[in-house]
Structures are given as structure tokens and as C-alpha cells.
Homo-oligomer: A and B are copies of this chain.
Amino acid sequence: MRIRMGMAGGGEGAFIGEIHRAAARLDGEIELVCGAFSSSPQVSRRTGAKLGLAPERVYGSWEHLLAEEALLPADSRMEFLCIVTPNDLHFPIAVRALEAGFHVLSDKPATRTLAEARQLAGVIARTRRCYALTHTYLGYPMVAEARVRVLNGDIGAVRRLQVDYSQGWLSQRLETQGNRQALWRTDPERAGAGGSIGDIGVHAFNLAEYVSGLQVTQLCCELGVTVPGRKLDDQAAAFLSFDNGARGTLTASQVSAGAENDLTLRIHGETGGFVWSHRDPNSLHLLSPAGVHRILRAGSDMTDLHPDTRALCRTPAGHPEGFIEAFANLYRAFLADIRSSAEAPGACASGARPTSPATASAAVRGMSFIDAMIRSNAAGQRWVALEC
């Protein structure tokens, strides 16, 4: 049986909404049954029509969607809500959807503030509904493999981690030139207090904690507002201190003119290191002293990969998989959570798997990161502890 999905946001012109829908379709396990695709009822209706939804399941607002769907019979109403609105709505919609009994899959960042994230975590725990954040990069097989191998001790205790996320698209002040993506991302009211750190830095942070299996305890951050007239940070750098004593750096930029969407993680332990880059996501570089440099490659047939990693591959080695497949892997894990939850509410067990996607705790961690980055910067690059 396919799982029934509803969607909040993702109307015409939104980039990520269509990615979500494609990812949801890929494995044929999900059916989009309803949506409130835009704050404009007209846009919402037009989007729904294009998607072939029944007109009565296309709503003019997310409040309406939640209210109406809850009234439908259990075997036809949506089972989970996918939230792909601008940042400011992630939290209120998620809370209301959970309270209404729906599972929630949300874009990051989960909320606008750390306080909201804690509140959200409370709601998740209380409602015993499944919740996941689409930290896309966790869906790449070779990211999962890196995590499995680091946890397995393949490179010894982690000593040094460097994560960099560089984009160039905000090098110009697009927000004054009619670019809607730029508009809300640079507006503190809609994006939250973080600019580049909320949009991409939090992905880098999430990746760093995921692969290392460590937690950042303290950080020291410098935020930069590069383009004249902009209100939020468009570049950022931080020193990171991990709970095992390892050190790290995190850098993020949306003003690296000419960069695309370049996320790179380098992690070094006592006896080796891993390098993964979004430019070549199906490769994982394993470095060892004395010149042993291996390239581990994604593929359903790669017997040297962990079985969980192989299961994230839809094709044998040599058949490139990409962003949409990574996204679809997050959906897969979320569906597994929903299914196990159906048998034992609150059992959303994905967190127990080594290759789990981001769940409630990641929502709090992410907001705690953004909060700490802003506090550290405001204090003139002082070390601050992550509060969570």
C-alpha cells in the first residue's frame, strides 16, 4: 500500500517543492493526495491541477488543509505532511500537523529559533508522530558509508574535521531583482536570524555531526554580510570543538562567485581520513598513511560497502545517482518509520539505524547551531556552548 502524502508549499516557481515530489514518486511507494501549495489560493489550485490532484483536495491555506484532511476517513486522508514553505512557516505548520495526528517531513531549518525547536521536540515526543528533516546530504550512499566506517573505527579517533559549503548565486543582490528564492532567504522575517548559516551552514553542521558521530560542544564564529544592503549573513566561518576533543572548521558562503552547490567534508582520525564532495557524490576517498588512497564507489553491487549503504543504491556501480535519489532515500527511511510507527506508535526507529536520516534531535541540534553561531558572532567571535 502506498503512503498518502500532503504538501504545504511547493507552488509554481519553487525549486525544492518539485524535487520533493520527484523524490516521493521515485520508488512508487508514496501517493500525493492533497496540498496547500501556496499562500495564494489561486497558485495553489493551479499547481494542484497540474499535478492531477482532485480539486477538493487542493486547499487555499495550510490551516484549511489540516482541518479538512482530519475530517476525512482514516483510509483516505493524508498520512504525512511534507512542509516545503519558506522557513518561517516550518514550525507552526509542523506543530499543528503533529497535533492533528499527522506525521511530518519538513525542510530545514526546523524552526526559526532554538526555543521553537525545543518546543517542537516536545510536541513530537508527546504526539508520538514521526518527524524528519530533509537534510539531503544524509541520503547519499557514500555519506552513509563514511559514517559507518568512522563509527567502526576505520580511521581511529577523529582529530580534525573540515566542512565547507560554497555557493555563488547570492554574489549579486538578487533579492532586489525579483528573485523569489533570494527574497525570502535574505529577509530576517521569513528566513530567521540566520542567512547563509540557516540556508546551507546548517546542512554542513548536520553532515559533520552525522559522519563523525560526534557532537559540537562549542564554537567560535564570524559571520559576514558581504553584499551591500543585505541584512543577513551571506558568508560564515567557525571553529568547532567536538565532544571528544577533536577540532574542526565550518565555512559557508553564498557569495563565492562561480561556485555551484559545493559541499565538501574532510575528516581525519589517528590513522586515516575520509573526503567526500558533492561534486562527485558517488565516490568516497579513504586516505591512509604510506600512500594508500582508495576510492570507494557507490553501487548496489559493491560488496565492500556496508549492506545498509548498498541498500541506498538503486543501480550498480558506474550508473551515477544524484540529488533526487539522495532525497528519495530520506523518504524511504521516513516511510519505514511511519510503517513501524503504525505497529508501535512512537517507535519511529530510524534514529537507531546507522544510516538514519535527520530526526527530531537533528531539528534541535540544527537550531542550537544557528543560535550559537549568531551569539558567538554577536559577542565578537567568542566561544559559546551549543545549548541543547
Q: Footprint of B on A, CB under 8 Å?
A: 1-2, 15, 18-19, 21-22, 25-28, 51-52, 155-156, 159-160, 162, 164, 166-169, 171-172, 220, 222, 224, 226, 235, 237, 239, 247, 249, 251, 253, 255-262, 266, 268-273, 278-281, 286-297, 299, 301-305, 314-325, 380-383
Who on chain B is nearest to A283 by CB?
B293
Say whether A314 contacts B319, CB under 8 Å.
no
- One of B235, B290, B294, B323 near A292 (C-beta < 8 A): B294
* Contact for A380 among B22, B25, B269, B383, CB less than 8 A: B383
Residues in B with CB closer than 8 Å to A269 are 257
For A257, give its contact among B18, B224, B271, B279 (CB under 8 Å). Answer: B271
How close is A339's CB to chain B, nearest CB, in angstroms? 15
In the bound complex, residues from chain B placing their C-beta under 8 Å from that of A381 are 220, 239, 381-383
Instruction: Assess whether B321 is in contact with A303, with CB atoms less than 8 Å apart.
Output: no
Question: Which among B156, B268, B278, B302 is the interface contact of A291 at CB below 8 angstroms?
Answer: B302
Residues of B within 8 A of A271 (CB): 171, 257
| Contact A270 B171, CB 8 Å, known A290-B304, A292-B258, A323-B320 | yes
The answer on a CB contact under 8 Å between B258 and A237 is no
Contact A22 B383 (CB under 8 A): no
Report the nearest B residue to A223, measured CB to CB. Answer: B247
19 contacts between A and B (CB under 8 A): A159-B226, A159-B257, A160-B235, A169-B316, A226-B247, A255-B268, A256-B273, A257-B273, A258-B268, A259-B287, A260-B291, A260-B316, A278-B320, A290-B303, A291-B301, A291-B302, A291-B303, A293-B294, A294-B295
A305 CA / B293 CA spacing, docked (Å):
13
- Choose one: B168, B247, B251, B321; the contact of A222 (CB below 8 Å): B247
Inter-chain contact A299/B260, CB cutoff 8 Å: yes
- The residues of B that contact A299 with a CB separation of less than 8 Å are 260, 291
With a CB–CB cut-off of 8 A, which chain B residues contact A162?
164, 251
Q: What are the residues of chain B within 8 A of A293 when measuring CB–CB?
A: 258, 294-297
Residue of B nearest to A155 (CB): B257
Instruction: Give 9 nearest A-B pairs by CB, closest first.
Output: A258-B287, A260-B318, A261-B318, A320-B322, A319-B323, A291-B302, A293-B295, A322-B322, A256-B268
Closest B residue to A294 by beta carbon equals B294
Interchain CB contact under 8 A, B303 and A226:
no
The residue among A280, A290, A291, A381 with the most chain B CB atoms within 10 A of its own CB is A291
State whether B253 touches A251 (Cβ < 8 A). no
**4 additional contacts, CB 8 Å, given A168-B287, A293-B294, A321-B324?**
A18-B314, A160-B256, A169-B289, A319-B323
